Amino acid sequence: MTHTPPSEHDIHAYVDGHLDSPHRSEVERYLARHPERADEVQGWRQDAQQLRTLLAGDLAPAPAFDPALVRARAGRRRIVRLAMAASLLFCLAVGGMAGWAARGMGPGAMKPMADAMQAYRLLALDHGVGMDITTANEGDLRSWLAGRVGSSVRLPDLADAGFRPIGGRLFATDQGPAAMVLYDDGSGHTVSFYVRPPGVARHLLPRGTREDSGLLADYWSQGGHNYAVVAVADEAGRAAAQRMTARTI
């Protein structure tokens, strides 16, 4: 007969039926000598038995969670997530490309040399009111231009076409200082000669012509500057602009 009480492990194993028969009889002998402990252990056995019986009713099939279904649902979700990731990437790419394409574009810079046309509208239609320099002397105008925009800028000579310079005006643009020299033929026709740096983005222009709200502009790039010749888009303006462009390039 042993006097050491069974371990906690053995008591639980007895309740749960995990003991082999020699150990079981040992625990039973101990419990026989300790009725109080025996009552408790008996209660535990009853509770365990009851729990097993009562909870057996909760074992119901759960077809909604069939692994094949869950697997399919997870697969669909993965596709949706992939699609979302792909569309996000697509949006980023489109936005990025649009942003790159739109670089350097700002109000007024959307079309080539739109600033030259604005400058013409500002001054030429008022026939030279608000000039910075008012002189017909080409030498003065040339040095004025050289000091402000660049010494490489050549001023066209249109005297044989009947156009003479009447003055110049400086503009501040996003691309740097711009200068406009206005020519007049004495009968109300004006042509402007506009020059500015290409800007930080070095946005040089292919040679081109465009018309916008009654004005026409010939534009090109040369020697690190952007040029525009602007006139009213009529017969005389067209002819004058053409001549000026031909003289300059």
Partner 1 sequence: MSDPKIDEALRSMLPRLRRFALWLARDEHAADDLVQSTIERALSKWHARRDDESLRAWLFSILYRLFLDGKRRSGRYARLLSMLGREEPTWPSAERVAVAHSTLAAFASLPVEQRSLLIWITVEGMSYQEVADILEVPIGTVMSRLSRARRALRRLGEGVPETPALRLLK
Q: What is the per-residue binding string for partner 1 in 4-33, x denoting contact by CB under 8 A?
A: ----xx--xx-xx-x---------------
Q: Does 35 bind partner 1 (CB under 8 A)?
A: no
Of these, 3, 32, 67, 107, which contacts partner 1 (CB under 8 A)? 67
- Give the shortest CB-19-to-partner 1 separation in angstroms: 12
- Could you tell me the CA-to-CA distances from 34 to 20, 29, 38, 39, 113 in Å, in that order? 21, 9, 6, 9, 107
Q: 133, 237 in Cβ contact below 8 A? A: no
Phi/psi of residue 195, each to 5°? -140, 140
Which residue lies nearer to partner 1 by CB, 6 or 165?
6
Bridge partner list, 181: 168, 193
Which residue lies nearer to partner 1 by CB, 15 or 149?
15
Token pair listed for 106 = 């700002």
Stretch that binds partner 1, among 60-68, 88-96, 137-145, 172-180 (CB under 8 A): 60-68
Of these, 29, 34, 35, 51, which contacts partner 1 (CB under 8 A)? 51
One-letter amino acid for residue 112 of the chain: P
Q: 194, 227 in Cβ contact below 8 A? A: yes
- Give the shortest CB-57-to-partner 1 separation in angstroms: 9
Among 216, 200, 193, which Cα is nearest to 144's?
193
Q: What is the per-residue binding string for partner 1 in 205-224, x denoting contact by CB under 8 A?
A: --------------------
**How many whole angstroms from its chain centre is CA 15?**
70
Contacts of 142 (CB under 8 A, 6+ apart): 155
Stretch that binds partner 1, among 62-70, 89-97, 154-162, 172-180 (CB under 8 A): 62-70
- Could you tell me the CA-to-CA distances from 125 to 152, 170, 210 in Å, in that order? 28, 17, 19
Q: In what order do the strands lie in the sheet with 190-196?
A: 164-173, 176-184, 190-196, 225-232, 215-222, 208-212
Which residue lies nearer to partner 1 by CB, 8 or 235?
8
Of these, 1, 32, 64, 101, which contacts partner 1 (CB under 8 A)? 64
Which residue lies nearer to partner 1 by CB, 50 or 87?
50
Q: Does 59 bind partner 1 (CB under 8 A)?
A: yes
The residue count for the chain: 249
Q: Which positions touch partner 1 (CB under 8 A)?
A: 8-9, 12-13, 15-16, 18, 40, 43-44, 47-48, 50-52, 54-55, 58-62, 64-68, 70-71, 74
